[in-house]
Amino acid sequence: MVEDSAAVNKDACGTKPLKKYPDVLRNVVLALVMISCVYIFSICLNQKGFMMIPNMMKMEVMDETCRYPSISPSDLPLIHFPQPTTYSRNECACTPVRYFAILSMQRSGSGWFETLLNSHINISSNGEIFSVKDRRSNISTIIATLDKVYNLDWCSSASKNECTGAVGFKWMLNQGLIQNYEGILEYFKNRGVSSIFLFRRNLLRRWVSVLANSHDRNVKQLNGTHKAHVHSRHEADILAIYKPTIDVRKLIPDMSQTSKLTSDSLQLFNNTRHIVLYYEDLIHNRTKVMDVLDFLRMPRRQLTSRHVKIHTKPLSDHIENWDMVSKALKGTEFESFLDSDYGK
């Protein structure tokens, strides 16, 4: 299936190449770095006793001092006081952190939804981290990745670091989530991870968006750059000019499969703490997104996004072989997708 490379997800910090510098300068910098490493290492050796204070002890003390009387007892398993290895939480060390995961599918509004969440001062959602295959090779790599995110050690443009109150990322159902569900369910239950399901009701509109995005990946309509999401009406209109021709023999099986994936995932994760959202509901009712803040127990605030919707017209204007598609869907369970509108 299609894989979005999420805009927020720029991997670990501090790995930017030094390509701005000429070679000589780079060599000098490298030499300096090596010398400092040797120096620091020698100091570490001398202070072995100091370095070996067990981490466990520190953690217990921290938990003991961070008691929050205002948190209801049933919520206690949901809060955490992470101690990132890469920095100190300083004055926010006792700000409780809640863990979440947005479980969704490609082209279902999760990119837009995530920018809304990230506009909240207390929320960090780190993008589509499992779009990188190595991280989802097996349950061990998945858990190592989750640990890093939830310990606030994941570095992306969405990180709010020491004062984050809710931390998460978005996870597409076809990115190892269903294959490894047993281990993941156990992790979610043990660590108190809350699931935010985000689906799109109209699977035909979703399919148009999948095809158009895949077309742009090849053709790069915006001055030679592929964009999965855009920030201006002008760019959106350019992308919307392309009208996909839909293979009607594949359409119904694909939509059936997508709808089965949705219900299977809901069933599998039914015993975890979760909320189910639909893209269309969020579009039509802007206060609906406050349900998510309540769910995450974060203060209600106005949320904003710069994303601009690409396909805004009736579907007949966005599909090249509209007659064929509408004939194929008439009388099926998917017929209602033909005439739903965005009304805006």
Ligand X SMILES: *[C@@H]1O[C@H](CO)[C@@H](O)[C@H](O)[C@H]1NC(C)=O
Residues forming the site for ligand X (CB under 6 A): 95, 121-122, 134, 137-138, 140-141, 163, 165, 222-223, 235, 238, 266-267, 270, 285, 287-288, 291, 298-299
User: Considering the complex, what minimum distance in angstroms separates the CB of residue 158 from ligand X?
Assistant: 15
User: Considering the complex, what minimum distance in angstroms separates the CB of residue 96 from ligand X?
Assistant: 7
User: Considering the complex, what minimum distance in angstroms separates the CB of residue 313 from ligand X?
Assistant: 19
Q: Give dist(CA 91, CA 71) in Å, integer.
A: 19
Name the residue nearer to ligand X (CB basis): 235 or 246: 235
User: Considering the complex, what minimum distance in angstroms separates the CB of residue 291 from ligand X?
Assistant: 5
Q: Give dist(CA 162, CA 38) in Å, integer.
A: 30
Residue at shortest CB range from ligand X? 165
Name the residue nearer to ligand X (CB basis): 15 or 223: 223
Name the residue nearer to ligand X (CB basis): 138 or 157: 138
Name the residue nearer to ligand X (CB basis): 58 or 286: 286
Name the residue nearer to ligand X (CB basis): 236 or 251: 236
Residue 65 and residue 158 in contact, taking contact as beta carbons nearer than 8 Å: no
> How would DSSP label each residue in 179-193?
TTHHHHHHHHHHHTE
Q: Give dist(CA 105, CA 254) in Å, integer.
A: 13
User: Considering the complex, what minimum distance in angstroms separates the CB of residue 331 from ligand X?
Assistant: 27
225 bridge partner residues: 222
Q: Give dist(CA 205, CA 317) in Å, integer.
A: 12
The pair phi, psi for residue 286, each rounded to 5°, is -70, -10
Cβ neighbours of residue 78 under 8 Å, at least 6 residues apart?
98, 99, 192, 194, 273, 297
Burial class of 127 by CB neighbour count within 10 A (0 to 12, 13 to 18, 19+): buried
Name the residue nearer to ligand X (CB basis): 26 or 217: 217
Q: Residue-wise over 274-304: b if at least 16 C-beta within 10 A, else e? A: beebbbbebeeeeeebeebbebbbbeeeebe
> How would DSSP label each residue in 149-178?
HHTT---STT--GGG-SEEE-EEEIIIIIT
Name the residue nearer to ligand X (CB basis): 239 or 251: 239
User: Considering the complex, what minimum distance in angstroms separates the CB of residue 335 from ligand X?
Assistant: 24
User: Considering the complex, what minimum distance in angstroms separates the CB of residue 243 from ligand X?
Assistant: 18
Name the residue nearer to ligand X (CB basis): 66 or 324: 66
* Token pair recorded at residue 151: 């310990």
User: Considering the complex, what minimum distance in angstroms separates the CB of residue 23 from ligand X?
Assistant: 32
